[in-house]
Amino acid sequence: EMNLKYVSSGKAKDIYENSSETLLFEFTDRVTAFDGKKKSDYNEKGEITCKIAEYWFNIMENNNIPTHYIECPTSTSMIVKRLDIIPVEVIWRNYVAGSFLRRYEAGEIKLPEGVGTEEGSPIHGGMIEFTTKFEAVDRPINTDEIISNGWLSEKEITYITDLTQRINDIMSQELAASGIILADFKVEYGRKPDGEIILADEVGTPDGCRFWKKDEFDEGAIISLDKDVFRKSIGDLTVAYRELFNKLQKNNK
């Protein structure tokens, strides 16, 4: 990969050109939060995150969710199909947390009917949100703005909403068997040259999901196995990520 042409860097991944139709993602040990204002490095973070992404991509493919995933040639790298990335981050929420709670507390949004006002309040049936991807600060956008910007058609928004709900159902079910609650997650989509919209970036990693231990949650405590450990400075991120991965693997043996 040292000879590959560098393309760009995300928060945690470096991207290289692998062929005219594929890219190579190198998962690094970097972690950032709060739109890059908080940064660090954790040993082995890249390797664990890559393995978790690989784990979920295989499950998605087995469940007929179309993805850009091809293979992992090393323990920290992944080959994916080149796509035209849709500049929208798609968030699915099953519980109140993170920016959703913050925006509510700041008076910027109302919560859906019947949803409680604390971190951990369930959102029955779940809900979808969209934020901008290529702006300095992720900003919630509504579907009218997505359509008027020409990013997605109404039909495509319906398709993506359905796919994201299916991804939620698949992950929530797998995680439940490991004693983990999927509180929320972010996914991205892209278009293949033939126009098909497929799942891009990474899925199911603790960088882009909130995972809570179910036993503790049922006792009223939120114990995170995701990037909130770093955001809130409440432990060693690698330890939390490894615990998550071990729980997933144990369930599949």
Using the minimum distance from each CB to ligand 5GP, give the nearer residue, 197 or 208: 208
Among 30, 186, 213, 242, binds ligand 5GP (CB under 6 A): 186
Enter the DSSP assignment of 26.
E
Among 98, 122, 126, 235, binds ligand 5GP (CB under 6 A): 98
Instruction: Give the interface segment with ligand 5GP, choosing from 65-73, 120-128, 183-191, 235-243 (CB under 6 A).
Output: 183-191
Distance CA 206, CA 8 (A): 22
What is the helix (H) or strand (E) element at residue 14, kind and residue range?
Answer: strand 13-17
* Of 88, 103, 191, the residue nearest 142 (C-alpha): 88
Among 76, 157, 208, 223, binds ligand 5GP (CB under 6 A): 208
Distance CA 52, CA 113 (A): 35
Binding string to ligand 5GP for residues 130 to 169, with x set by CB under 6 A, is what?
--------x-------------------------------
Among 184, 190, 204, 244, binds ligand 5GP (CB under 6 A): 184
Distance of closest approach, residue 193 Cβ to ligand 5GP, in angstroms: 26
100 is a site residue for ligand 5GP (CB under 6 A): yes
Rounded (to 5) percent helix, strand, coil in the chain = 30, 30, 40
Distance CA 186, CA 8 (A): 20
In contact, 150 and 52? CB cutoff 8 Å: no
Distance CA 100, CA 110 (A): 10
Using the minimum distance from each CB to ligand 5GP, give the nearer residue, 65 or 91: 91
Task: Sheet containing 69-74: give its strands across.
Answer: 5-9, 13-17, 22-27, 77-81, 69-74
Distance of closest approach, residue 75 Cβ to ligand 5GP, in angstroms: 20
Residue nearest to ligand 5GP (CB): 98
Using the minimum distance from each CB to ligand 5GP, give the nearer residue, 82 or 210: 210
Contacts to ligand 5GP from residues 65-94, by CB under 6 A: 89, 91
β-partners of residue 85 are: 190
| Contact positions vs ligand 5GP (CB under 6 A) | 89, 91, 97-100, 138, 184-186, 207-210, 227
